[in-house]
Amino acid sequence: MKNNRLFQFIVVFLTVILLCGCWDIKDINKRTIPLVLGISKTNGGEYKVTLQIPVLKNESQVSKVVTGTGETITSALGKIRTNSENAIDYTQIRLIVVQNHLAHNQKEFTNIVKFLMGSEEIPSRSLMAITDENVEGVLSSINDKLGVHASSIYDFFNKGADWAPEIFSTPVWEVYRSLFSSTKDIAVPLIRSGRNTVLIFEGSDILKKGEIMDRLKPEEIQLIRVLQNKNEKGKIESLGFASIMVSNSSIRLKPSLNNDKPSLSSNLNIKINVLERNDGVTNKKIMEELERIIEERFFHILKRMQESHTDIFGFGQEFQQLISYNELKNWRDEYFPDLKVNFEVEVNME
């Protein structure tokens, strides 16, 4: 008897379960999968959203570009969804390109980042980039190029550090983190469409709490990567009389605090390979020249950063032990401008 009742119970529940469900079901080939999301603003003050969508059937065309406008990004995305032939699935978006006039507005940019982070569909892993050109132009330029895939724009950022050390890929969650961080600012890559290749990397914008403070060139960006202890292999440097390749790098930072004045001693070790050199150039000369160049470059950036109170190196993180949590909130304005950095470069031959 009891067993029978249990059985009825199971049957009832199974029917209930079978009756519910069916909201998320849509076959993958009935979904449109955009890869790149471009955000800009029209002259009328509305948001304009551009999507780059791969085309699967057609051989001659790899992707199409769809745009929509709305008062908010959500409404613009919703409009595209309404007008699209298929259901649009935003979960595969890998790159988000923001137009510069939006990016230069701190409030707008902060809102965009917060929206992207809060959105359940758009993954927070997707990378961010800023462009000075028209977003639509950048996204549609892919169709004129030969031998590219629909995912080429994303692949551009995903070559891997060993292949293209200058490219600084910044995911949404890191930008979001920098909105709240008091000790570390972030660099967002700057791109434009190329003539033969899909994209050209132009450098990075430095953001402090969502506000663009400065713009760095690719070789400067590379130095910042080194200082953030990201291994730099394969970088080729031209010294005029010789060109070398960095084969390994490591950095040691040692913070100290004297009379509330922070100072940092840092040792950068670089191993290099000499690729080509003019006649009569000794190893010693190459090493000295490289040391000089890197130090000069570093102090140049540091000076600019200290003037704009922007800690792109994340030096403040090193002082977590020395300065209390609440004090550290004022790192950028109170401590960082007075920071003394004792920067030493040591170059070794492989």
Partner 1 sequence: MRNKIVKELETTFSNQGDFFIEEELVDKTTIFLMGFKTLVDLPKSKLYIQQIEDSSRSAKALFMNLSNRINVNTEQLIEGILEGNLVIVSLDGKQNAVVNPFIQNLRSSVSEPKNESPIQSSTDAFGDDINTNVGMIRKRLTTTSLCHCSYQVGELEKRKLSMLYIEGRTPNALIEKVEQQLKGIKNDIETIDELNLQFGKRRFSPVSHLFATELPISAIHALKRNKIVLFLDNCPFALVFPNLLWDMLFSINDRNFPFILSFMLRFFRVIGLVATLILPALYVALVSVNPEVFKLDLALFVAKSREGIPLTAFLETIAMVVLVDLILEAIVRLPKSVGPAITMVGGIILGQAMVEAKLVSNLLVIVITAVVIASSSVIGMQNSLYIRLLKYPILILASLFGILGVCTGFIFTIIYLASLTSDDIPYMTFRIKKEGEIK
Partner 2 sequence: MTQRIQIGAVFIIIHLSFGYVVYPNLIYMLTKTAHWEVIICQGLLQLILIWIYMKGLNYFPAQNVTDIFLKMGRWAAIIFLTPFAINLIALASLNIRIHTEVIISIFLPRTPYWAILILLFFISVYTALKGLGTILRSAIFIFLFVIPLVVLNIFSSVINFNIHNVTPGLNFPPKFLLDIKFFYLLGFSSFIFLGFITSKTKLIFRQLLAVWVIVTVLFLAIVYIPLFIFGQDTVVTLKNPFLEAMDSIDISWFSFNRQAIFFGVLLVGLVILTNSVLFWLIGTIMQKIYRWNSSNWIIAFSFIALLIALVVPNKSLLEKYFLWSSGAQALFMIIIPLALFIYGFWSNGGVRGHEKQ
Smallest gap from Cβ 16 to partner 2, in A, equals 6
The mark string for 140-179 relative to partner 1 (x by CB under 8 A, - otherwise) is: ----------xx--x-------------------------
The answer to whether 31 contacts partner 1 (rule: CB under 8 A) is yes
Smallest gap from Cβ 24 to partner 1, in A, equals 5
Residue 318, contacted partner among partner 2, partner 1, none, CB below 5-8 A by kind: partner 2
Question: Closest Cα to residue 318, out of 240, 261, 255, 247?
Answer: 255
Smallest gap from Cβ 76 to partner 1, in A, equals 21
Binding part of the chain for partner 1, among 43-51, 88-96, 176-184, 287-295 by CB under 8 A, reads 88-96
Binding residues for partner 2, rule: CB under 8 A, are 2, 6, 9-10, 13, 16-17, 20-21, 23-24, 92, 117, 120-121, 123-125, 158, 160, 171, 173, 176-177, 179-182, 314, 317-318, 320-321, 324-325, 328
Smallest gap from Cβ 20 to partner 2, in A, equals 4
The answer to whether 26 contacts partner 1 (rule: CB under 8 A) is yes
Number of residues that bind partner 1 (CB under 8 A): 27
Question: Which listed residue (12, 42, 56, 292) binds partner 1 by CB under 8 A?
Answer: 56
Task: For residues 195 and 272, give the distance between their C-alpha atoms in angstroms, rounded to a whole number.
Answer: 33
Residue bearing tokens 């190029």: 145
Task: For residues 193 and 140, give the distance between their C-alpha atoms in angstroms, rounded to a whole number.
Answer: 9
* Residue 186 near residue 176 (C-beta atoms within 8 A): no
Q: Which residues, numbered 232-261, are part of the site for partner 1 (CB under 8 A)?
A: none
Burial class (CB in 10 A: 0-12, 13-18, 19+), 193: buried
**Helical segments of the chain, H only:** 2-19, 73-83, 100-103, 106-118, 135-140, 152-157, 172-180, 218-227, 283-307, 325-328
Residue bearing tokens 């004129």: 144
Question: Which listed residue (16, 29, 279, 321) binds partner 1 by CB under 8 A?
Answer: 29
The answer to whether 1 contacts partner 1 (rule: CB under 8 A) is no
Phi/psi of residue 124, nearest 5 degrees: -80, -5
Task: For residues 328 and 315, give the distance between their C-alpha atoms in angstroms, rounded to a whole number.
Answer: 11
Smallest gap from Cβ 18 to partner 1, in A, equals 7
Smallest gap from Cβ 128 to partner 1, in A, equals 17
The answer to whether 319 contacts partner 1 (rule: CB under 8 A) is no
**Strand, coil or helix: 301:** helix
What's the count of helices (H) and strands (E) in the chain, helices before strands? 10, 15
Smallest gap from Cβ 125 to partner 2, in A, equals 4
